[in-house]
């Protein structure tokens, strides 16, 4: 599984379940995720199925990884992004 290759990453749903995560940290995390999605949209990629189970966050660096983009399109006439 690809998830096993994401060493040090935690699924967003699990991370948000951590009650020790402060409001400010949650806000910063939302902004990081928003920037990652915006960068993909700016590049012309769109997916109909983005959810918390497809978002992983590195537990130390805060880096965001977005998975499960096989249904994404490039925005160029609906050409699939694979």
Considering only residues 82 and 37, tell me which one the structure prediction assigns the higher pLDDT.
Answer: 37
User: What CA–CA distance (Å, rounded) separates 78 from 31?
Assistant: 28
User: What integer pLDDT is reported at residue 77 of this predicted model?
Assistant: 46
User: What integer pLDDT is reported at residue 3 of this predicted model?
Assistant: 58
Judged against a pLDDT cut of 50, whether residue 17 lies above it is answered with yes
Q: For 30-71, what is each residue's pLDDT tens digit? A: 999 999 888 888 888 887 778 888 899 998 898 998 887 666
Judged against a pLDDT cut of 80, whether residue 81 lies above it is answered with no
Would you call 7 helix, strand, or coil by DSSP?
A: coil
User: What integer pLDDT is reported at residue 56 of this predicted model?
Assistant: 92
User: What CA–CA distance (Å, rounded) separates 23 from 42?
Assistant: 28
């Amino acid at each position: 599984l690809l998830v096993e290759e994401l060493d040090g990453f935690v699924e967003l749903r699990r991370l948000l379940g951590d009650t020790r995560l402060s409001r400010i940290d949650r806000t910063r995390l939302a902004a990081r995720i928003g920037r990652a999605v915006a960068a993909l949209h700016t590049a012309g990629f769109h997916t109909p199925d983005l959810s918390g189970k497809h978002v992983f966050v590195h537990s130390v660096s805060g880096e965001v990884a977005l998975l499960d983009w096989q249904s994404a399109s490039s925005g160029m006439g609906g050409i699939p992004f694979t």
